[in-house]
Each structure stands twice: as C-alpha cells, then as structure tokens.
Amino acid sequence: MTEYFLRLYDDRLGVKVAQSLWATNRVIYVMEGMARVSAADNAATLSSNSAWFSANQTCVISGPDGARILRYELVEASAPQSDISDGNITSTLLLEAALDLTPGDGYLMRCDRVDLPPGGIAYTHTHQGPGTRCLLQGGFIVETQGHTTHIAPGEAWFESGPDPVLARAPDDRPGYFSRVMILPRALKGKSSLTYVNPEDAHKPKLQRYTIFIDEFITI
C-alpha cells in the first residue's frame, strides 16, 4: 500500500481565463458558468452541473461569464499542492484526504451528484471506497463515529468508506452535493453503498443520484 492524497480545490476563474494543470487523475466539476476543457485524450465544453475526467495535462478556459470549478485530484503524497492564484484565478484547497492505495490499475474514479429533498435521509450505510464531498446547495448533517457535523454550501467533507454514516438534509431545505470516490473496478456502473441495518434497504429512498464519471484509473 502507498499513501496518496485526494485533493479538492475550489477554482474561481474570471472571464475567458486559461488555467494550465499538470497531468494526474483529475475530475473537473463545473458549479457555475461555463468552461472549455481539453487534454491529449479528449476535450469538451462544460456548462453548470457537468463533469469531465482526464489523467493528462489539461487546459481549462472559462466562458464569457467566468466559471467556478470543483477540481478533484488524486496524487501521490509527495506531489506539491496546485492552489496557486493570480489576479484572474482564485484557487483554494478545500480538503486534502490521505488514502492508502495499491499502485496499479485496480481502481475507478467516480464523480456523481447526490440530491436529497428537505428532510431526506440517507440511512446508516457504508461505501466500498473513500471519497470527498462538497455541498453545492442547501444544508447537510452527517453523523459518523459519534460525531455530528452540520455542513454549509461550499464546505467539503471526507468519508473513509467502511465507517458507518447517517446523513440527512434539514427539514427546511434540500441537500445537494458533488462527490468523487475511489472504488474497486468491479463497481463500474454499480452502487457502492451497503446499508448497515438490513431493514433500511427496503425503506423508501428520497435521494437521487446522477453519475457523471465512472473511469478506470492507473496509479
């Protein structure tokens, strides 16, 4: 096993600004505005609430109204941070989580969005891999390992995977969040979630999932 970091940056780009990013396994999720992203293997124009993956050197060019981007990067522990800002780009490291992973091609990198309506509950559950989340809108309450955390829009949190989590949206507002997880390849296209209490598996579920990225990676 080798230590890696899953880093999440909040990048705010001015109007038609270019951002150059070095090669690593990376997901770009556009929160606001529009951006043109390109690498040696693919290119796309992203609008709000869309995502893109590449392991290659990447160029991001913001649209006519600028862009706000969540940038998830999986890097070796020795890699320097890439949160340098200038007059047209403000880049903030929201969260850095250490992961023990086996080098090779045994993983996939998933980016999805989870929407819970007001009062919606994600019953106590685990996941088959670690991941970082960022609240996009509303509010969110996470209970794990005897601690309760109230999360506000723009705040990030990490879940290890095997630690049981109970999560819910407040009664007066929804909870919408972006998420990137590192999962076994066998889970491509499949849920990573297991309910701790078997009876919860049969209860009505209010959360909605949108998967944007489910890519095999090599580390």
Q: Which two tokens stand for residue 167?
A: 């999560």
> What is the Cα–Cα distance from 52 to 7, expressed in whole angstroms?
16
Q: Which residue has the tokens 């090669």?
A: 23
> How far is the CA of 18 from the CAs of 8, 15, 37, 166, 180, in angstroms?
19, 9, 10, 40, 24
What are the pLDDT digits (tens) for 28-87?
999 999 999 999 999 999 999 999 999 999 999 999 999 999 999 999 999 988 877 788
pLDDT of amino acid 150: 98
Report the C-alpha dihedral over residues 30, 78, 18, 93, rounded to 10 degrees: 50
Distance of CA 136 to the CA centre of its chain: 11
> What is the Cα–Cα distance from 129 to 109, expressed in whole angstroms?
10
Q: Which CATH superfamily is domain 108-217 in?
A: Jelly Rolls (2.60.120.10)
> What is the Cα–Cα distance from 96 to 87, expressed in whole angstroms?
24
What are the pLDDT digits (tens) for 191-206?
999 999 999 999 999 9
pLDDT of amino acid 86: 83
pLDDT of amino acid 82: 85
Q: Is 143 helix (H, G, I), strand (E, B) or coil?
A: strand
Find out whether 17 and 42 touch, Cβ atoms under 8 Å: no
> How far is the CA of 38 from the CAs of 18, 54, 65, in angstroms?
11, 9, 19
- Residues 6 or more apart whose Cβ sits within 8 Å of residue 191: none
> How far is the CA of 137 from the CAs of 95, 201, 209, in angstroms?
18, 26, 15
pLDDT of amino acid 71: 98
pLDDT of amino acid 1: 82
Distance of CA 123 to the CA centre of its chain: 20
What are the pLDDT digits (tens) for 125-138?
999 999 999 999 99
What are the pLDDT digits (tens) for 90-112?
999 999 999 999 999 999 999 99
Better-scored residue on pLDDT, 148 or 1: 148
pLDDT of amino acid 115: 98
pLDDT of amino acid 38: 97
Length of the chain in terms of residues written? 219
Whether pLDDT at 180 is above 90 = yes
> What is the Cα–Cα distance from 120 to 140, expressed in whole angstroms?
10
> What is the Cα–Cα distance from 4 to 219, expressed in whole angstroms?
9
Percent of the chain clearing pLDDT 90 (strictly above) = 95
End-to-end CA distance of the chain: 11
What are the pLDDT digits (tens) for 13-25?
999 999 999 999 9
Residue 87 corresponds to which amino acid? G
Q: Which CATH superfamily is domain 2-100 in?
A: Jelly Rolls (2.60.120.10)
Domain with CATH 2.60.120.10 in the chain: 2-100, 108-217
pLDDT of amino acid 22: 95
Q: Which two tokens stand for residue 179?
A: 């998420």
